[in-house]
């Protein structure tokens, strides 16, 4: 039972993270450099980590947020490379 509670907290943190990033991209769709975007993602992740700092699964949340940020950065770099190849 407690394992599913921990997994739900991790899912909730990741859902909040992705919602914040989607909102960020909708507000500024092409106004970010990759460096600025990475910094904004880091700030969002830090805020979510603070929200869950009293959780028993805070280490798992931290790792999940890091993995999500890494995969989003990888896809952003791929997107930029593909866009440059088209030009």
Q: Could you report the per-residue pLDDT of 15-43, keeping only the tens digit for each?
A: 999 999 999 888 876 767 888 888 999 99
pLDDT at residue 87 tops 80: no
Handedness of CA 37, 39, 40, 41 (dihedral sign): positive
pTM: 0.82
Burial class (CB in 10 A: 0-12, 13-18, 19+), 70: exposed
Quote the number of domains for the chain: 1
Opening angle at CA 27, ends 25 and 30, nearest 5: 60
Residue 25: the pLDDT is 85
* Domain range enclosing 43: 2-86
Question: Residue for token digits 């949340």?
Answer: 61
Q: When comparing pLDDT for 82 and 62, which is higher?
A: 62
Query: In whole angstroms, how far apart are CA 48 and each of 59, 64, 82?
Result: 12, 11, 31
């Amino acid at each position: 039972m407690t394992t599913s509670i921990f997994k739900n907290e991790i899912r909730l943190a990741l859902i909040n993270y992705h919602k914040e990033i989607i909102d960020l991209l909708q507000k500024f769709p092409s106004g970010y450099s990759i460096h600025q975007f990475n910094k904004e993602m880091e700030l969002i992740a830090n805020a979510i980590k603070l929200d869950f700092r009293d959780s028993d699964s805070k280490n798992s949340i931290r790792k999940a947020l890091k993995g999500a940020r890494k995969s989003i950065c990888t896809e952003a770099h791929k997107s930029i490379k593909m866009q440059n190849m088209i030009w």
